[in-house]
Amino acid sequence: MKILVTVKRVTDYERKVKIAPDGKSLLTDGMSFVANPFDEIAVEEALRLNKAHGGEVVVVSVGPKDSTQEIRKALAMGAHRGILVTAETVDSDVYARALQQLVEKEQPELVIMGKQNTDDDANQEGQLLAGYLNWPQATFASKEAGLDSADEKAQKPGLVVDNGQLTVVREADGGLEHLSVDLPAIVTTDLRLNQPRFASLPGIMKAKKKKVEEFSLGDLGVDPAPKLTYVAYSEPKERQAGQIVENIDALVDRLRNEAKVI
């Protein structure tokens, strides 16, 4: 089975990004970057499916040239080859149309993506791509058992592929929804799908020799005009730290008589 997985280069979620003085852009110089954590889960799932069903795992990213680093990380985890589409934008729609072209070129049976990127939390890429391709989608893929389960330790995939069909357990409001979709399909990963592996040293060495193709939006015939643009950035109103109370009696008193919330 050929699987395409997407990896987006995002700012390190442990660090705060600053706003430029004119409020029109973000200052990312000197920031460290990582692969979007949801995408590591996507790569892990693709590798588990690959172990079970064979085939190929192709990692794709759309973004700045440096995204090659995140592609290489996925190759070090075990993916087979990479594709980078160079683009300077923040618009999900441009990304989705670029991915659509790659999917049409590569003809995978399954595309696994993260549910959201931690830079802007758009949570729409997989759904957009599914819409453009008119493929079925199963977003927020999860597992029935917790990540501590024996199955997880046995590294079994959470996605079940059988006979051209994919069964997915998805995180919905109020419970877990079980869906079955025809392949080809788009899946987006939630946090509980798996525990991503670390790249091994031999993995990192091998990754250096793996092929990463590069295209521009123009090569793929993708219109670079964004549909969504960010025009200004500002800081949210921050909460002030309040008071430390000395004991439960004081806490109950404040909640009752000062905040009046109980």
27 interface partner picked from ligand AMP, other proteins, ligand FAD, none, CB below 5 to 8 A per type: none
Task: Give min distance, CB of 115 to ligand FAD, in A.
Answer: 10
Please tell me what DSSP assigns to residue 151: H
150 interface partner picked from ligand FAD, ligand AMP, other proteins, none, CB below 5 to 8 A per type: none
Site for other proteins in 171-190 (CB under 8 A): 171-182, 185, 190
CA 135 from centroid of its chain's CA atoms: 19
CB atoms within 10 A of CB 52: 15
Output the CA angle 212-202-41, nearest 5 degrees: 65
75 interface partner picked from other proteins, ligand AMP, ligand FAD, none, CB below 5 to 8 A per type: none
Q: Which of 140, 156, 150, 149 is nearest to 53 (CA)?
A: 156
Strand partners, 49: none
257 is an interface residue for other proteins by CB under 8 A: no
139 is an interface residue for ligand AMP by CB under 6 A: no
Rounded CA-CA distance 9/3 in Å is 20
42: helix, strand or coil: helix
Contact pattern from residue 103 through residue 122 relative to ligand FAD, giving x for each residue in contact according to CB under 6 A and a dash for the rest: ---------------x----
229 is an interface residue for other proteins by CB under 8 A: yes
Of 1, 122, 147, 204, which lies in the binding site for ligand AMP, with binding defined by CB under 6 A? 122
Q: To which H or E segment does residue 171 belong?
A: strand 165-172
Output the CA angle 103-54-125, nearest 5 degrees: 30
8 is an interface residue for ligand AMP by CB under 6 A: yes
Site for ligand AMP in 76-95 (CB under 6 A): 92, 95
13 is an interface residue for ligand FAD by CB under 6 A: yes
Strand partners, 187: 112, 138
Site for other proteins in 82-121 (CB under 8 A): 91-93, 96, 115-116, 118-121
Give the interface with ligand FAD as residue ranges (CB under 6 A).
13, 37, 118
